[in-house]
């Protein structure tokens, strides 16, 4: 069982030296343990919520002068008695304190166990627990913004509202089921379908927001592709402003894709330098690299298709065939080595062309602003839009929609008994998002992604 009533301990701050470190204890014995090892300067008893300064002493050894924060249950992060020791950030002190507390009968916490306990004790729902991980990992303005909204419970509130509406529909169906032998209809099918449709519409909006949420959380992926030697790695380095990829005049220098990120105006971009596409190669390794290039193209939000000469027919053919393969992909055509090209460059088939010299930097800033502009289109949001960022939520919403559509389709043709099963399944999928419906596998999967001490 996941629910434990033993006392857990962990170092909550990153490993290594720092000005201070925090050691966290949660569970029934937290206060008993701290009383044995802490000598408070204050006259207040170590009983109620307080912050106290004092010494940690153990077996006649003075360990450190520390601050302790006492949070009595249920008004604590986990809903249990918590003691946080704020000690000096020496690795020796941190490890010593940890081993002393373990000696007193506490157990080392598993990853995410403090937050798991908060969830099991009803302090937060599952959505909020996941957002805590997101907020710890947030690197940009937007990833932070979505995580903080989720912590406030915006998604949970919406899901609870939708579940309430679905439960209303379910009660209508069950009412009809109870009186099925009397052959009378209680459901106004038209009205029922309308209500179902409104719920589906709301869920679909959430599903659509995932693309934005995912792009902003994990970064907008921009793949740099093209034939060998056109200057992809040179451009990659220029965009990142450091020599990340090896550049050489030998075709086939980049064998495997290389990825690095850059944050521009609060948005994270993941630039991917790829192996040059050479369809005639017999080299086994090069072929593997090219295969990976295609897999990256598939997952990218934007493709920078680089050429090193202005051959209108060739470029048109190449871009057309890529666009046919991936009709929804946005492709920017880049003519690199502009410093060497003497020809006049004009738009091809109304497609804008970027003239750059990656080596000397010409046109790269303009390209970067167009990339930023493109990202704004896919990330533009109304201020209060709820955005989902978790694949788990996305999958659950998709499943819920599937069952609600099934109900809508079969409303007047199948027995209310079956409709009721489908509505319940949809409800379960929504309940899984907030944790109203859950199981050990889901919880283990979520909390194993946390760090120890959170």
Ligand X SMILES: Nc1nc2c(ncn2[C@@H]2O[C@H](COP(=O)(O)OP(=O)(O)OP(=O)(O)O)[C@@H](O)[C@H]2O)c(=O)[nH]1
Residues making contact with Mg ion (CB under 5 A): 232-233, 253-254
Q: Which of ligand X, Mg ion, none does 252 bind, CB closer than 5 to 8 A by kind?
A: ligand X
Rounded to a whole number of angstroms, the minimum distance from the CB of residue 359 to Mg ion is: 13
Rounded to a whole number of angstroms, the minimum distance from the CB of residue 294 to Mg ion is: 16
Nearer to Mg ion among residue 97 and residue 247 (C-beta): 247
334 binds ligand X (CB under 6 A): no
Rounded to a whole number of angstroms, the minimum distance from the CB of residue 370 to Mg ion is: 22
Rounded to a whole number of angstroms, the minimum distance from the CB of residue 258 to ligand X is: 10
Rounded to a whole number of angstroms, the minimum distance from the CB of residue 299 to ligand X is: 20
Residue nearest to Mg ion (CB): 254
Nearer to ligand X among residue 37 and residue 225 (C-beta): 225
Nearest to 402 by CA among 384, 376, 425: 425
359 binds ligand X (CB under 6 A): yes
253 in a labelled binding site = yes
454 in a labelled binding site = yes
24 binds ligand X (CB under 6 A): no
375 binds ligand X (CB under 6 A): no
Nearer to Mg ion among residue 236 and residue 269 (C-beta): 236
Nearest to 114 by CA among 77, 151, 145, 168: 77
331 in a labelled binding site = no
Q: How far apart are CA 348 and CA 261, in angstroms?
A: 30
248 in a labelled binding site = yes
Rounded to a whole number of angstroms, the minimum distance from the CB of residue 218 to ligand X is: 24
Number of shown-chain residues binding ligand X (CB under 6 A): 22
Q: Say if CB 8 and CB 114 are below 8 A apart.
A: yes
- Helix pair angle (91-103, 30-37), 10° resolution: 120
Nearer to Mg ion among residue 11 and residue 230 (C-beta): 230
Residues 178-237 that bind ligand X (CB under 6 A): 228-234
285 binds ligand X (CB under 6 A): no
Q: Say if CB 101 and CB 48 are below 8 A apart.
A: no
Q: Which of ligand X, Mg ion, none does 249 bind, CB closer than 5 to 8 A by kind?
A: ligand X
Residue nearest to ligand X (CB): 276
Q: Which of ligand X, Mg ion, none does 231 bind, CB closer than 5 to 8 A by kind?
A: ligand X
Nearer to ligand X among residue 153 and residue 228 (C-beta): 228
Residues 252, 370, 425, 437: which binds ligand X (CB under 6 A)? 252
241 in a labelled binding site = no
Rounded to a whole number of angstroms, the minimum distance from the CB of residue 454 to ligand X is: 41
Rounded to a whole number of angstroms, the minimum distance from the CB of residue 262 to ligand X is: 18
SS (H, E, C) the chain: CCCCCCCEEEECCCCCCCCEEEEEEECCCHHHHHHHHEEECCCCCCCCCEEEEEEEEECCEEEEEEEEEEECCCCCCCCCCEEEEEEECCHHHHHHHHHHHHHCCCEECCCCHHHHHHHHCCCCCHHHHHHHHHHHHCCCHHHHHHHHHHHCCHHHHHHHHHHHHHHHHHHHHHHHHHCHHHCCCCCCHHHHHHHHHHHHHHHHHHHHHHHHHHHHHHCEEEEEEECCCCCHHHHHHHHHCCCCCCCCCCCCCCCCCEEEEEEECCEEEEEEECCCCCCCCCCHHHHHHHHHHHHHHHHCCEEEEEECCCCHHHHHHHHHHHHHHCCCCEEEEEECCCCCCCCCCCCECCECEEECECCCCECHHHHHHHHHHHHHHHHCCCCCCCCCCCHHHHHHHHHHHHHHHHHHHHCCCCCHHHHHHHHHHHHHHHHHHHCCCCCHHHHHHHHCCCCCCC
35 in a labelled binding site = no
Nearer to ligand X among residue 25 and residue 239 (C-beta): 239
Rounded to a whole number of angstroms, the minimum distance from the CB of residue 313 to Mg ion is: 25
Q: Which of Mg ion, ligand X, none does 389 bind, CB closer than 5 to 8 A by kind?
A: none
25 binds ligand X (CB under 6 A): no
Q: Which of ligand X, Mg ion, none does 26 bind, CB closer than 5 to 8 A by kind?
A: none
Q: How far is CA 340 from CA 206, 225, 236, 239, 337, in A?
A: 49, 20, 19, 20, 6
Q: How far apart are CA 134 and CA 128, in angstroms?
A: 10
123 in a labelled binding site = yes
What is the per-residue binding string for ligand X in 147-186, x denoting contact by CB under 6 A? ----------------------------------------
Which residues are at the interface with ligand X (CB under 6 A)? 228-234, 247-249, 251-254, 276, 336-337, 339-340, 357-359
Which residues are known binding-site members for K(+)? 229, 248, 250, 253
Which residues are known binding-site members for Mg(2+)? 233, 254
């Amino acid at each position: 069982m996941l629910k434990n009533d033993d006392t857990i301990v962990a170092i909550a701050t990153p490993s290594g030296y720092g000005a201070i470190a925090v050691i966290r204890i949660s569970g029934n014995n937290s206060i008993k343990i701290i009383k044995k090892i802490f000598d408070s300067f204050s006259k207040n008893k170590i009983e109620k919520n307080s912050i106290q300064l004092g010494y940690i002493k153990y077996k006649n050894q003075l360990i450190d002068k520390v601050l302790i924060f006492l949070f009595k249950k249920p008004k604590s992060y986990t809903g249990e008695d918590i003691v946080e020791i704020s000690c000096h950030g020496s690795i020796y002190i941190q490890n010593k304190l940890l081993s002393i507390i373990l000696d007193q009968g506490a157990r080392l916490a598993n990853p995410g166990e403090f937050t798991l306990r908060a969830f099991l004790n009803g302090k937060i729902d599952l959505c909020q627990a996941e957002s805590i991980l997101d907020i710890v990992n947030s690197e940009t303005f937007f990833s932070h913004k979505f995580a903080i909204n989720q912590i406030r419970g915006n998604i949970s509130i919406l899901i609870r509202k939708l579940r309430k509406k679905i439960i209303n529909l379910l009660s209508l169906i069950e009412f009809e089921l109870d009186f099925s032998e009397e052959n009378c209809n209680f459901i106004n099918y038209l009205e029922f379908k309308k209500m179902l449709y409104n719920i589906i519409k709301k869920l679909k909006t959430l599903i659509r927001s995932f693309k934005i949420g995912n792009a902003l959380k994990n970064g907008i992926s921009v793949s740099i592709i093209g034939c060998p030697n056109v200057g992809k790695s040179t451009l990659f380095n220029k965009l990142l402003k450091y020599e990340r990829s090896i550049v050489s005049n030998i075709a086939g220098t980049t064998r495997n894709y290389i990825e690095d990120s850059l944050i521009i105006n609060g948005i994270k971009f993941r630039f991917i330098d790829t192996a040059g596409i050479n369809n005639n190669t017999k080299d086994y390794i090069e072929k593997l690299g090219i295969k990976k290039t295609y897999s990256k193209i598939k997952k990218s939000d934007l493709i920078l298709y680089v050429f090193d000469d202005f051959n209108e027919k060739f470029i048109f053919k190449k871009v057309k065939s890529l666009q046919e393969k991936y009709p929804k992909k946005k492709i920017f055509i880049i003519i690199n080595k502009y410093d060497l090209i003497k020809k006049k460059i004009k738009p091809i088939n109304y497609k804008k062309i970027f003239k750059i010299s990656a080596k000397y930097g010409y046109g790269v800033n303009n390209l970067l602003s167009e990339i930023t502009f493109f990202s704004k289109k896919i990330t533009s949001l109304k201020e209060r839009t709820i955005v989902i960022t978790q694949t788990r939520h996305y999958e659950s919403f998709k499943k819920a929609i599937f069952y609600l559509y099934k109900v809508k389709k079969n409303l007047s043709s199948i027995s209310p008994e079956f409709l009721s099963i489908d509505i319940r399944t949809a409800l379960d999928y929504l309940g899984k998002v907030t944790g109203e419906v859950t199981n050990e596998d889901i919880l283990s999967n979520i909390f194993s992604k946390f760090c120890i001490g959170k």
